[in-house]
């Protein structure tokens, strides 16, 4: 089998040169595939702990966790029922009781990872769900929902629905210390041959300013994205609003001036999602197109698409959604003995506006098919990385840490420090970066190989040997938008 051959070729990977200091290294953890459904609190926590532990070893610094798949919740909500994807039946609380979202926030932050809460905005029922609770929005307000190919969709043409989704977002934001708020690629439903979206009535009522229903639909989604962005940043300006659209914006045959040389489904024409408008207007803080295909795919070539997004979507941080299994199941057209991870990584390095990757999906990464995870851990992601900057939110670094000292405690020798003084969230230290330099090392905090730790703690255990060698440690403060202070230096004999 191909994957076996690829695993044997592990030694052929070219090692990454000059790894970036800043890179978004994310992974999606979804519930809608049923991986947690009905397995119980203890087993779900065990599964998630294993995934997070392995992802931390690999170098992942952000988790995108699905908390709302069909107007339900993987957290206690006064507006929406507990998800069937958690307990097996909608509306049934977990036993023993726990809050998966809060638990994930705690676990990710403990590991130095960001936690981005991921919701599906419009979908109210998946095809496999046959029972909705009385308090579900589709039962409370059936007039605001339409059916399509076994799904229920909150009608994007009704402003009550965008208000409702923003209310859900507001509730999450006010109650949870999340780092990002994330929506995926489902806006208007994916088209099915022979089926029409039942929104002609709403168009006749509300679409008077538009020449056709398609433009009206796009405007509905545009206004929702803008409203959600404003909601997020009004409540917590530092929370990053991200979207992961389908991988094709438009095909060149439909839009010769801007389209990609592809022939697949289109965001703009088929899902009514004008993603470039959101990016260029600054309504989203980051964009993760789902380029799940392989290099050489006839309908949607990965190489064509990463170049396209790099060219047109540079007004906001751009990360690439990668399908792990498709990457390892397809051979590199230029090197048939290797799968496509090395070739895709080279395309990332050649794309100046690509600042990171999000892996689809976490469980498949942890299984390490084709040595995918091992190559990330030992090569491409072997050193820690800070998050990409978002100067459009905040570009001012905090002050440097105070009182950096080396101290003996009962269980060993520690480096300690105090947070810098701050007036508001923009000045506050959220994490710290600790660099360690041997006597002959060049002192350079841009050298990621010298990063000892990125932590939210104010203490770090040192590797004391005999006290004969003098090392230089530098501690910097990093705020919520990853702006890094100048360093505070401490020389220590270890």
pLDDT computed for residue 470 by the predictor: 97
pLDDT computed for residue 9 by the predictor: 42
Specify the CATH number of the domain 402-493. Answer: 2.60.40.10
pLDDT value at 4 more than 80: no
pLDDT computed for residue 18 by the predictor: 76
Query: CB of 345 within 8 A of CB of 408?
Result: no
List the structure tokens of 151: 């799904």
The Cα 261–Cα 441 span in angstroms is 49
Helices (H), 183-247: 200-206, 213-235
pLDDT computed for residue 130 by the predictor: 95
pLDDT computed for residue 16 by the predictor: 52
* Per-residue pLDDT tens over the stretch 73-105: 999 999 999 999 999 999 999 999 999 999 999
> What is the mean pLDDT of the segment spanning 119-136?
97
> What is the mean pLDDT of the segment spanning 241-260?
98
* Per-residue pLDDT tens over the stretch 304-332: 999 999 999 999 999 999 999 999 999 99
- Give the residue from 494, 389, 387, 384 showing the smallest Cα distance to 449: 384
Side-chain half-sphere CA neighbours of 342 within 13 A: 23
Share of the chain above pLDDT 90, in %: 96
Query: CB of 52 within 8 A of CB of 111?
Result: yes
Tokens 């990464």 belong to 365
* Per-residue pLDDT tens over the stretch 128-143: 999 999 999 999 999 9
- Residues contacting 46, CB < 8 A, separation 6+: none
pLDDT value at 116 more than 90: yes
The Cα 42–Cα 56 span in angstroms is 21
Q: Which position has the higher pLDDT, 17 or 469?
A: 469
- Number of helices and strands in the chain (H, E): 14, 20
Q: Tell me what the pLDDT averaged over the chain comes to.
A: 95
pLDDT computed for residue 78 by the predictor: 97
Specify the CATH number of the domain 24-379. Answer: 3.20.20.80
> What is the mean pLDDT of the segment spanning 95-117?
97
- Residues contacting 175, CB < 8 A, separation 6+: none
- Give the residue from 302, 209, 217, 224 showing the smallest Cα distance to 260: 302
pLDDT value at 1 more than 50: no
The Cα 474–Cα 489 span in angstroms is 4
Categorize the per-residue pLDDT at 17 as very low, low, confident or very high, splitting at 50, 70 and 90: low
pLDDT value at 15 more than 70: no
Tokens 């947690």 belong to 36
Burial (0-12, 13-18, 19+ Cβ within 10 Å), 232: buried
pLDDT value at 12 more than 90: no
Neighbour count for residue 256 (Cβ, 10 Å): 9
User: Domain boundaries in the chain?
Assistant: 24-379, 402-493
The DSSP H or E segment spanning 475 is: strand 470-478
* Per-residue pLDDT tens over the stretch 383-409: 999 999 999 999 999 999 999 999 999
pLDDT computed for residue 20 by the predictor: 94
């Amino acid at each position: 089998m191909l994957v076996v051959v690829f695993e044997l070729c592990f030694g052929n990977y070219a090692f990454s040169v000059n790894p970036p200091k800043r890179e978004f290294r994310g992974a999606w953890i979804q519930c809608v595939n049923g991986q947690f459904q009905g397995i119980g609190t203890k087993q779900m926590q065990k599964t998630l702990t294993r995934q997070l532990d392995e992802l931390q070893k690999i170098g992942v610094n952000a988790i995108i966790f699905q908390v709302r798949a069909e107007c339900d919740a993987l957290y206690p909500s006064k507006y929406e029922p507990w998800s069937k994807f958690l307990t097996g039946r909608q509306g049934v609380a977990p036993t023993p009781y726990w809050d998966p979202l809060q638990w994930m926030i705690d676990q990710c932050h403990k590991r130095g990872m960001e936690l981005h809460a991921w919701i599906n905005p419009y979908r109210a029922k998946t095809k496999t769900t046959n029972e909705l609770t009385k308090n579900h929005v589709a039962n409370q307000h059936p007039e605001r929902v339409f059916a399509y190919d076994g799904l229920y969709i909150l009608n994007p043409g009704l402003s009550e629905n965008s208000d409702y989704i923003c209310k859900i977002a507001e509730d999450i934001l006010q109650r949870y210390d999340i780092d990002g708020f994330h929506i995926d690629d489902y806006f208007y439903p994916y088209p099915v041959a022979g089926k029409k979206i039942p929104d002609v009535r709403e168009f006749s009522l509300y679409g008077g300013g538009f020449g056709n229903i398609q433009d009206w639909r796009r405007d509905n989604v545009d206004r929702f994205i803008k409203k959600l962005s404003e909601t997020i940043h009004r409540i917590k300006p530092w929370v990053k609003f991200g979207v992961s659209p389908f991988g094709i914006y438009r095909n060149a045959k439909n839009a010769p001036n801007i389209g990609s040389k592809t022939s697949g489904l289109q965001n703009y024409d088929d899902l009514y999602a004008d993603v470039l408008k959101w990016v260029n207007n600054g309504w989203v803080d980051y964009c993760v197109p789902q380029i799940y295909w392989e290099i050489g795919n006839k309908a949607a070539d990965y190489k064509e698409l990463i170049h396209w997004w790099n060219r047109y979507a540079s007004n906001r941080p751009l990360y690439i959604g990668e399908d792990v299994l498709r990457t390892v199941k397809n051979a590199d057209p230029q090197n048939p003995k290797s799968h496509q991870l090395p070739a895709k990584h080279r395309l990332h390095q050649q794309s100046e506006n690509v600042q990171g990757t999000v892996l689809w999906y976490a469980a498949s990464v942890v299984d390490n098919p084709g040595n995918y995870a091992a190559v990330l851990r030992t090569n491409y992601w072997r050193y820690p990385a800070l998050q990409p900057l978002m100067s459009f939110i905040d570009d001012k670094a905090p002050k440097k840490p105070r009182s950096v000292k080396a101290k003996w405690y009962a269980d060993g020798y520690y480096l300690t420090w105090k947070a810098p003084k701050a007036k508001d969230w923009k000045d506050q230290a959220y994490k710290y970066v600790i660099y360690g330099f041997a006597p002959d090392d060049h002192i350079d905090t841009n050298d990621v190989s010298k990063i000892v730790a990125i932590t939210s703690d104010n203490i770090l255990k040192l590797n004391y040997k005999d006290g004969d060698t003098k090392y230089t440690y530098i501690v910097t403060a990093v705020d919520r938008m990853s702006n890094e202070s100048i360093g505070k230096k401490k020389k220590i004999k270890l």
